[in-house]
């Protein structure tokens, strides 16, 4: 998904097919599946019993069945969505904060997508100012097939969508307002059937 983290104010481009959402559940005190390999730009949703969560840790902590957090993703009890901005390339180690000592842990390995091939979309997307008091602007340049709708969606840190703009037009300095929402970290997803970008937003 790494992290609350290296969460980029840059963007992650999925250069393959439309991003996939992976589901991780629990079977008692075991994550299922306990190890997955995904592509950069995919999301991961934890659907857990209310006594479990998912907390990112480093490998040393993971090997020791401990629960010392790193600056990475975490979910509330019951799970939540981990967005691509929290999942840069590499292996992400996570545990259930409450049952790590029992070996309840897993890994998410994020692989870099391949380079742009002929016919694939080339896109740039930017949100500014960032951090902001809640008033953001965005601009983009994209080469997509005519008629394919483009959407901007904004998610809170739990993966709940708080804003959606459909049929985005290609022009500079388009505005969206999040000032009614609490201060904190959000994620903007700019997507169509041909591409997806994610960018961390901060309301201060």
Instruction: Tokens for 46, please give them.
Output: 């934890």
Mean pLDDT score, 153-174? 79
Secondary element (H or E) of residue 60: helix 59-63
Instruction: Tokens for 20, please give them.
Output: 């996939």
Query: Edge-to-edge, what's the strand order for the sheet holding 184-191?
Result: 161-165, 151-156, 184-191, 196-203
pLDDT of res. 47: 93
- Bridging pattern class, strands 184-191 and 174-177: unpaired
| pLDDT tens track for 78-107 | 999 888 878 888 999 999 999 999 999 999
CATH number of 123-203: 2.60.40.3080
pLDDT above 50: residue 13:
no
Examine domains 21-111 and 123-203 and report if their fold is the same: yes
C-alpha radius of gyration, the chain, whole number: 17
CATH number of 21-111: 2.60.40.420
- Tabulate helix, strand, coil % of the chain (nearest 5): 5, 40, 55
User: Cα–Cα distance between 70 and 86 in angstroms, integer?
Assistant: 12
Mean pLDDT score, 147-162? 82
Longest dimension (CA), the chain: 54
Mean pLDDT score, 153-181? 82
| pLDDT tens track for 22-66 | 999 999 999 999 999 998 878 899 999 999 999 999 999 999 999
Q: Could you tell me which of 124, 121, 117 has the C-alpha nearest to residue 170?
A: 124
For the chain, which residues make up each domain, given as ranges?
A: 21-111, 123-203
How far does Cα 195 stand from its chain's mean position?
A: 15
Look up tokens 């005190």; give the residue: 29
Cβ contacts of 203 within 8 Å, gap of 6 or more: 131, 132, 133, 134, 178, 179, 181, 182, 183, 184, 186
- Bridging pattern class, strands 43-47 and 184-191: unpaired
pLDDT of res. 30: 97
User: Cα–Cα distance between 28 and 79 in angstroms, integer?
Assistant: 14
């Amino acid at each position: 998904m790494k992290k609350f983290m290296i969460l980029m104010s840059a963007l992650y481009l999925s250069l393959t097919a439309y991003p996939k959402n992976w589901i991780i559940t629990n079977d008692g005190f075991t994550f299922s599946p306990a190890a997955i390999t995904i592509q950069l730009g995919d999301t991961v949703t934890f659907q857990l019993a209310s006594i479990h969560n998912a907390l990112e840790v480093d490998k040393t902590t993971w090997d020791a069945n401990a629960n010392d957090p790193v600056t990475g993703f975490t979910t509330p009890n019951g799970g939540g969505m981990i967005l691509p901005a929290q999942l840069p390339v590499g292996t992400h180690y996570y545990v259930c904060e409450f049952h790590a000592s029992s070996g309840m842990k897993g890994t998410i390995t994020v692989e870099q997508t391949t380079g742009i091939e002929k016919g694939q979309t080339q896109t740039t997307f930017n949100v500014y100012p960032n951090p902001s008091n809640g008033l953001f602007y965005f601009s983009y340049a994209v080469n997509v097939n005519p008629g394919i709708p483009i959407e901007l969606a904004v998610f809170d840190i739990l993966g709940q969508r708080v804003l959606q703009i459909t049929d985005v037009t290609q022009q500079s300095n388009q505005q969206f307002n999040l000032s009614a929402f609490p201060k904190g970290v959000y994620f903007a997803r700019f997507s169509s059937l041909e591409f997806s970008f994610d960018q961390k937003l901060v309301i201060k």
